[in-house]
Amino acid sequence: MFNIGVIHLTAKVTSVLTHLINELSFGQAVTLVVETDNPYDNEAVAIYYKDKKLGYVPKEKNSFLSTLLYYGYGDILEARIQYVNVENHPERQFRVVVKIKDNRK
């Protein structure tokens, strides 16, 4: 797989995240969702686990992912939890890695 890079979530622990913390572990799949109607950033990319929003890809790293997702190429991406530690600073409690899938046979 081609590694796009490590993407740090900007998620703060909330009651929702505290409830999910035991479910999040290394390698756990997460979903990337583009939010073109986001009032703060029209290239915003939210990161979800199941139906719960964990946070966002930082603005300085979201343009390429946002473009791929907007044009329907999200199926070539694989996003997974790389690190979880709720004792860290709120903006460094989760780390997600995004890769391009290798679908060659």
Q: What is the pLDDT of residues 30-78, one digit of tens each?
A: 999 999 999 999 999 998 988 888 888 888 888 999 999 999 999 989 9
Q: What is the pLDDT of residues 5-19, one digit of tens each?
A: 556 555 555 555 666
- CA–CA separation, 85 vs 39, rounded Å? 29
